[in-house]
Structure 1
Amino acid sequence: MTTFLQVLLNGLMLGGLFAIVAIGLTLIFGIVKVVNFAHGEFLMAGMFVTWLITTRLGLHPYASVIIVVPMMFLLGALTQRLLIQPLMSAEDDHVQIFATVGLSTAMINLALLIFGADIANTPNFGLRTPIEIGPVRVLTGQLYIFIAAIILVIALQLFLKNSQTGRAIRAVAQHRVAAELMGVNVPRIYILSFGLGAACVGLAAVLIAPLYPTSSNIGTYFVLTAFVVVVLGGLGSIPGAFFGALVIGLVDSLSGFYIGSDLREAVVFGIFLLILILKPSGLFGKRMTLSHLS
């Protein structure tokens, strides 16, 4: 029984980690309607900056949040303004997707050029210390990630529901043309939204860096799982991304323990295919998307 509880707890903690990566992805898609294939490379960039700040300045990894989050917001805003925005009027929407794929490839190769192929390990400052919760254990860093994911979901929900900017964002997500006719600066909202999505992944990078080794391809694993989470939770749904991440985390942990670690990804992506076939709108469907938060 203790083993089963430990596996469940590991799954929940893993789900919190997936959630904090997927929230930024679903935020960008829900508003800008662009699938950002460079999302994993944004995470990788944030993790490398966290590593640099921690190793060169000797600061706690979490202290780098004051640099990494604004930096990632700026990177996201510039990506939208300089790369995506000029392509918004293109007849084929796939052009925008190809642009993010190109950005992803460029960022991976730039990281290889700067940091090489070696793995960078961010000092953990005790974040790998286990905490006893009854008969089970959890790493301190994992617990912080899970709490941060909950706070992030609540904060974004409150921002989107109660602030004037949040209402403008929801209006654009619901109907771009109608929002523009009502005086909303749609291009500005797109830039802001892309920046917010990138800032979320910057926060994820700061929290994940002390627990996982950083390399040029670190983002690939996380972003592939994040896509599964976003589809499971419902494209554009922030609560859906969180609960979908918990489901995927539990599936990953249970299948890895009871079926085999070499087959857990097969199980996760098998669920992904089933969702696409049986319920493409995800667990929350369109009912809980960003455009229907009011």
Structure 2
Amino acid sequence: MYSPIIIFEALANGLMLGAVYALIALGLTLIYGVLHIVNFAHGALLTVAMYAIWLAFEKFGLDPYLAILIVTPLMFALGYALQRFIIGPSSHGSDNGILLVTLGLSIVIQNLLLAGFSSDTLTIATDYAFGVVPIGPLLLSLPRVIGLGVSLLTALLLWFVLNRTDIGKAIRAVAKERLGASLVGINVAHVYAMTFALGTACLAIAAGLLMPTFYVSPTTGAAFVLVAFTIVVLGGMGSILGALIGGLLIGVVEAVFSLFLGDSLGQIGIFLIFILVLLVKPTGLFGARG
């Protein structure tokens, strides 16, 4: 049996990793809440952001956390361009078309990364990767403490954008009633692209938080987006608050299962939660029936 200190450390570190999971899920649920589609390219775009962080470190010696400031606007622009000039026009307004286009984009991006970087795993070596923050008797991972703080700050900033800015009000209007928003003069295509861009920008921040302690390969994003899908379902499709709380909860569940079953079986708990939610409350913790 583990000592209480080890259990509390595992729970705390799981909670902090869950905050980064929540950040990935925030972009996914934001896109779903407005476009009402599941973005199958989400994992591939996360991988692109992780490679961008790696390149910034390898080519320019830029710290991963500082690289976030450069990669985030680049990913924002990429997300906007993809939605405005590829996904929107090629789907012809059909939800099924958007699903197919994002799935196709995912395959194309993954293969481009495979051609450009091969299948080798790449990592970033930093002095603080194994650093710890002592809090009483607990020793917490420094990168995860930073990840928790930045993730919560990003969630707060996203809330501010959605609730206190003109584009945020337009996004909420389009999410509520697309036709009505169009009739009062809101450019729906621009709002769609901005929403997709914001979701993609969240991935850039998550990538910068992950790279000091994780590796990247052309398929890395797929593993994280599976967890993100679970978080979105757990919190409620389209719920920002649900994604944040769901991510924290999933991080704790994974930490508990990893502690008692081993790291290789840690994600069993995540998918048990996923199945349980689908059985008991399919709309998620904060979701509403359509």
Sort the TM-score into its range (normalised by shorter chain): over 0.9
Asked whether the equivalents of residues 12 and 246 of structure 1 are also in contact (C-alpha less than 8 Å), the reply is: yes
Asked whether the equivalents of residues 13 and 141 of structure 2 are also in contact (C-alpha less than 8 Å), the reply is: no
Counterparts of 1:1-294 in structure 2 under 5 Å? 1-90=4-93, 93-286=95-288
Task: State the SS of the aligned residue for 2:286.
Answer: coil
Asked whether the equivalents of residues 91 and 101 of structure 2 are also in contact (C-alpha less than 8 Å), the reply is: no
Measured after TM superposition, the shift of residue 88 of structure 1 is 4.8
In structure 2, what residue type is equivalent to 1:38?
Answer: A
TM-score normalised by structure 2 residue count? 0.94
Q: 1:65-113, CA deviations, whole angstroms, 9 ceiling, x for partnerless residues?
A: 232111111111121112321255455x222112111111111111110
Q: 1:228-271, CA deviations, whole angstroms, 9 ceiling, x for partnerless residues?
A: 00111111111110100011111111112124434332221121
In structure 2, what residue type is equivalent to 1:34?
Answer: I
Asked whether the equivalents of residues 47 and 205 of structure 1 are also in contact (C-alpha less than 8 Å), the reply is: yes
Q: 1:148-167, CA deviations, whole angstroms, 9 ceiling, x for partnerless residues?
A: 11111111112211111111
Asked whether the equivalents of residues 54 and 123 of structure 1 are also in contact (C-alpha less than 8 Å), the reply is: no
Distance in 2, matches of 1:66 and 1:251, equals 31
How many equivalent pairs are there?
A: 287
Deviating beyond 6 angstroms after TM superposition, the runs of 4 or more aligned structure 1 residues are none
Moved more, 31-40 or 118-127: 118-127
The residue number in structure 2 matching 1:292 is: none
Asked whether the equivalents of residues 141 and 211 of structure 1 are also in contact (C-alpha less than 8 Å), the reply is: yes
Distance in 1, matches of 2:230 and 2:46, equals 17
Distance 1:199 1:106, change over 3 A: same
Distance in 2, matches of 1:252 and 1:183, equals 46
Asked whether the equivalents of residues 236 and 243 of structure 2 are also in contact (C-alpha less than 8 Å), the reply is: yes
Q: Where in structure 1 are there 5+ consecutive unaligned residues? A: 290-294
Distance in 2, matches of 1:202 and 1:260, equals 29
- How many percent identity over aligned positions? 40
Q: Where in structure 2 are there 5+ consecutive unaligned residues? A: none
Asked whether the equivalents of residues 20 and 145 of structure 1 are also in contact (C-alpha less than 8 Å), the reply is: no
Distance in 1, matches of 2:92 and 2:118, equals 38
In structure 2, what residue type is equivalent to 1:188?
Answer: H
Measured after TM superposition, the shift of residue 31 of structure 1 is 1.1
Task: State the SS of the aligned residue for 2:124.
Answer: coil
Asked whether the equivalents of residues 50 and 205 of structure 1 are also in contact (C-alpha less than 8 Å), the reply is: yes
TM-score normalised by structure 1 residue count? 0.93
Distance in 1, matches of 2:266 and 2:129, equals 26
Asked whether the equivalents of residues 33 and 239 of structure 2 are also in contact (C-alpha less than 8 Å), the reply is: yes
Question: Considering only aligned residues, what root-mean-square deviation do their CA atoms show, in Å?
Answer: 1.7
Asked whether the equivalents of residues 16 and 146 of structure 1 are also in contact (C-alpha less than 8 Å), the reply is: yes
Asked whether the equivalents of residues 50 and 122 of structure 1 are also in contact (C-alpha less than 8 Å), the reply is: no
Task: State the SS of the aligned residue for 1:137.
Answer: strand
